[in-house]
Structure 1
């Protein structure tokens, strides 16, 4: 009989538990079965691996040698098994593709792009305001792809398991109540906006508030921020005339709110497509990015304030090639 990987796992389980009975439970075997297995292993290796003691078992000198080699070998074997399983998944048509997005208008276009390249896949989606939990899920193979975002000086830290491909860096605009006097202007000075009450997203690990504060400090002022909200709730606070805020340039105006560029373009936001480096979308990443860029162009064309800004700022906010 030759020594097998399963034999090494039995030896390690006995050493880690210090008892044949406990090792049997962890291996889901019977205690007599583990004893018989150990005797076969010892015959193969030519000596006793464990001394029987009143409190359990302890490795012999030969046992220590075998354990040192087994503990060096098994992680590599486990890694090989995991890598080949991922490779097999990539070769086969995936049954499900899990997508996600931060608060950006690109999730629908991401779904359409994935359905174009993998028409047989079952696509699911979810959203989150902070990109960091989504990046964690991508790295842990709990997502296949996601639209993320960050800001200058507060970029997402790269992960070995995840490919990050920037799509575009766009300006951040002012979000105003439709009745606000500043809506009469073509663009809004950030220092003037500091005089208003603000609605802001909660301080989060994505560092958006940190980035905003660093830019605000250049005006010598910080806004009064009595309202903390996100998404629809933030829009409703602005719509009610209670506060002003900031938004992405691709934000599509809804009744009761107005979008205006900020003078001098002091704030920027970057859209990023991310996918698991060894996931089923790895070979389709560039094509999905291209299709996502087409979707972004469609959104931009449907945003009047952004279209005017583009005319006045040629060559800025270009899609990544």
Structure 2
């Protein structure tokens, strides 16, 4: 039997677990199967690596030597595999995995990537908050992501990940269509403070925290009996049970009305993110330009009228 890297990992796993039984569970192997493999490794190396006893597996003096060499070798092997994987992904990407929070940028990002890398398979998945997406980017599980943050609650990029701001937009109010303030061109946040509110669940995007900070400046916090998102949120608003806040590009559903907030007290920033050594990094400027053009295409209704009156604040 030739000694392989996987055999070194087996030895280290047994030493770390302190017993063959526990190591077998962590390696998803049977205990007899792991014991047989260990015996083959010991025969190949020419000595006992572990003393087996009722308390577990204890390295012998010979085993300490083997473990020291294995622990010195494996980090270099892992680094080699990681570096070659990154180089392969960058030079000949076969699959581009994209993640997104709830934002109007995902489709335009997918289209931009397809134009730039026509031979790549593009997939997408959505998450509620940006933190899991940034973790996936750092771990190599995604090649790009749409994320967002708020003033004073800006995202921090993990090592090796680029955050590219695209546009900062105002936060608007989402009201029932029959609400008394729905007929106005804009509404004051203070005029909504006595309403029942539907709010997003607390999460790593810190939206709830940001809203609370703004309300604290008003000296009051709204009553928030409903915690919801997506379709459930729309149904609460449509039924006249609550009001809430939304992105400026939010598409009015039947029975709901989107209105700017007077004075623009809240803001939201859209960002694109990708690994700095990933396959999309060399195309960053092109991607940002094309996604920005797509974003402008989503500017309709109340937001379009708002931008006509405020041509400068957004990025």
With normalisation by structure 2, the TM-score equals: 0.83
How far did residue 89 of structure 1 move?
A: 2.5
Work out whether residues 174 and 244 of structure 1, in 8 Å CA contact, stay in contact via their aligned partners in 2: yes
Query: Alignment RMSD, CA only?
Result: 2.9
Name 1:76's counterpart in structure 2: 76
Work out whether residues 182 and 257 of structure 2, in 8 Å CA contact, stay in contact via their aligned partners in 1: yes
| Higher alpha-carbon deviation: 288-297 or 276-285 | 276-285
Work out whether residues 10 and 38 of structure 1, in 8 Å CA contact, stay in contact via their aligned partners in 2: no
Distance in 2 (CA, whole Å) between partners of 1:249 and 1:202 is 20
Distance in 2 (CA, whole Å) between partners of 1:237 and 1:6 is 55
Unaligned runs of at least 5 residues, structure 1: 40-48
SS in 2 for 1:205: coil
Distance in 2 (CA, whole Å) between partners of 1:185 and 1:252 is 18
How far did residue 212 of structure 1 move?
A: 0.1
Change (3 A) 1:222 1:275: same
Change (3 A) 1:282 1:24: farther
Distance in 1 (CA, whole Å) between partners of 2:216 and 2:78 is 51
Change (3 A) 1:212 1:133: same
Change (3 A) 1:277 1:26: farther
Aligned residues: 300
Name 1:306's counterpart in structure 2: 303
Distance in 2 (CA, whole Å) between partners of 1:144 and 1:258 is 36
Unaligned runs of at least 5 residues, structure 2: 25-30
How far did residue 52 of structure 1 move?
A: 8.0
How far did residue 188 of structure 1 move?
A: 1.0
Name 1:170's counterpart in structure 2: 169
SS in 2 for 1:253: coil
Name 1:108's counterpart in structure 2: 107
With normalisation by structure 1, the TM-score equals: 0.82
Flag the structure with larger Rg.
1
1:224 paired to 2:223: yes
1:37 paired to 2:31: no
Work out whether residues 50 and 57 of structure 1, in 8 Å CA contact, stay in contact via their aligned partners in 2: no
Distance in 2 (CA, whole Å) between partners of 1:172 and 1:145 is 25
Work out whether residues 49 and 66 of structure 2, in 8 Å CA contact, stay in contact via their aligned partners in 1: no
Name 1:256's counterpart in structure 2: 255
